[in-house]
Structures are given as C-alpha cells and as structure tokens.
Structure 1
Amino acid sequence: MDQNLLFEYFSQVIGPDWKNSAPKQLSGWDVVEALWPLNNDFRNRYRDFVALPYEARFEGKADLAQQHFVFKGKWPPVSIEVWRVILERHQQAIQVALANELAGNSLMPIPDRLPRSARTGAAVLYLLQQMKLPFAVVDRAGYSPDANPPHS
C-alpha cells in the first residue's frame, strides 16, 4: 500500500477536507464486494493470461496500471504479463478479505463520506498497490470471471 496515493484518492473523491471525515471500518465482506467488479475487467482477455506464470518483474508495471485505473477510471493498455500480476493480487486480496471476515476482523479504514462507488478504487490502493503476496502463487488456469457476484 502507498498511503500517500490512498490519501490523494480520498482528496480527489471527497475533497481536501476528507481528513475531517469520521473513519469507517470496512469488513472483509465489504472489501470482497468492493474488489469483485474487477472480474469484469479481466473478462475480455483472461484466457490470454490466466495460465501464464506469475512474474515478479512485472509488479512495478502492475502498480502503474492500478494507479491509472483508480485515478483515471479506466485501465491503460497493459501486457498480458501485467494482467497476470493484477489477477494474482486480486485473488489473494479476496482471500485476505474473506479470512478477515471469517475471523470477525475489520479490514480497511475509509472516510465515512467516501461513496460506495469509490470503494473499489480505495480497495485497489489499500490492498493491491505494491502488494507483497501473502500466499504462494497458484495456478489460476481454472479462474473464471463469470462467477456470480457476492451478496451480503
């Protein structure tokens, strides 16, 4: 996580007075719901990159792509290797969120004035940006972005 980027995002979405907002804790399930829409972004090309091995040398480019997505509202053109890094981060972030949900832990603080529509960007910056993978990389060949979205 790059805290300065996250704070910049809060300023962009809420305004410079976001610091006057009360903090709100998102549960693990809230974070799963925030990250789930990224599946739509994988849908068009996931067959091209899902079976690729994870290559750490593309992590920096993944960070840049994620920043572009969050601040510009769309993904820049990225290689399939970068998509593979983003997919692995996404899947592991969902695992972290679910583990926190099961343990009854809150996962992520946000300003209470952050709109629900901005939670995806906040979750990307909080969990995926500069992510050190908490689990071993696994074969994602069986991944499908067509799974039903979660409902609370």
Structure 2
Amino acid sequence: MYRTQLELLEHIYHEEQGRPLQESLMENMRGADVIDLLLPMSEMFIPVINQISGIPYQTKYTKDADQAIKEFALKNTKCTWEDLPAEVWRVLLERHIQTITLCAEKSHLNSLMLIPVGMTDRSKLKYVVVFWWYAMKLPYKVDEESTHDTLSRFHHLTGKHR
C-alpha cells in the first residue's frame, strides 16, 4: 500500500470517528460487500460513457485519476468529477470495472479486505474506493480492442441498457 493511500484511509476514518485508524476494530469485507458499495458509483459514469467508450486506456492519466480519488476522499460533499478529461474518466472506469470483476471472481472468499467497524456507508464507500482504486495496479490486461465495447461491459455491471 502506498503512503498517500494509507494517509487517505486514515483521514477517512479519523474524520468520521475522531480517532486514529490504528485504534479501530476491523471487520472482514467480502467481495460481494465491496461490489454492493461500488455498483452505485456506476451511475457517475452514465453522463460520460458515450464520450469515453471509444477512448483507449492510457497509463499517462493514472496520476490524474489518483488526484481525483484523493479529492473524493478528502471532500465532504458529493463526488463530482464532471470537469475531468475523458481520458481520466476512462482510467477511473477501468479501475471500477476491474475492481468489480476481481471482487466477483473472489466472491467465494470470506474476506477480501478489512474495513473499520462502525463506519457510515458514505465513509465505507470512500474507504473502499481509496483501498482499491488509488494507485491501482490493474489485475487484468486491458484489452484495447474492447475499448469500443466499454459501453456494453458497463451495462453488464450496472444492469442498465440503452
């Protein structure tokens, strides 16, 4: 785990609970629990999905994606990434899809990650997003030929169809 990532996780917990993360009790979180928290994030991609569906994943935008995630973790307001370039949205979408795919593949495990006990759903979401997405090393190869198929992969995850 990266130092900034750990600092963000500590910030999320401390902001809500008023004490250091090291003092928290931790509980197991299954892959299905992570998916349940992340799936509503899919809604954020709907306004830009047509714009980003044909854009290839480009690693040069990962630092910008990390900055967007950092701002999401630090702000108390609703996440708005509307001003992000389409290429950064594409990186965020790939991280979203690959996290959900990984969690689904590992759904047989009783624990996929640890999360502090007693956090609100909003703080849990921030914690999960930072844990999985920040500085994410993609677990699967990005199939550049399927970048035009991003829209259909997105609909598969959200259950929404045009």
Letter of the 1:99 counterpart: E
Letter of the 1:134 counterpart: P
Contact 2:8/2:73 (<8 A) preserved: no
| Structure 2: runs of 5 or more not aligned | none
Correspondences of 1:35-74 after superposition (within 5 Å): 35-72=38-75, 73-74=78-79
Quick check: which one's helix share is greater? 2
Contact 1:68/1:75 (<8 A) preserved: no
Contact 2:57/2:87 (<8 A) preserved: yes
Change (3 A) 1:118 1:148: farther
Q: Say which of 16, 20, 33 aligns to 2:19.
A: 16
Contact 1:26/1:108 (<8 A) preserved: yes
Corresponding position of 1:144? 154
Aligned length: 148
C-alpha separation in 2, matches of 1:132 and 1:78: 21
Structure 1 length-normalised TM? 0.88
Alpha-carbon shift at residue 78 of structure 1 (Å): 0.5
Percent identical pairs in the alignment equals: 28
C-alpha separation in 2, matches of 1:123 and 1:51: 27
RMSD of equivalent CA atoms: 1.9
Corresponding position of 1:130? 135
Give runs of ≥4 in structure 1 deviating > 4 Å.
Answer: none
Contact 1:9/1:122 (<8 A) preserved: yes
Secondary structure of 2:32's aligned partner: helix
Secondary structure of 1:130's aligned partner: coil
Corresponding position of 1:100? 106
| Structure 1: runs of 5 or more not aligned | none
Corresponding position of 2:115? 110
Secondary structure of 2:28's aligned partner: strand
Letter of the 1:6 counterpart: L
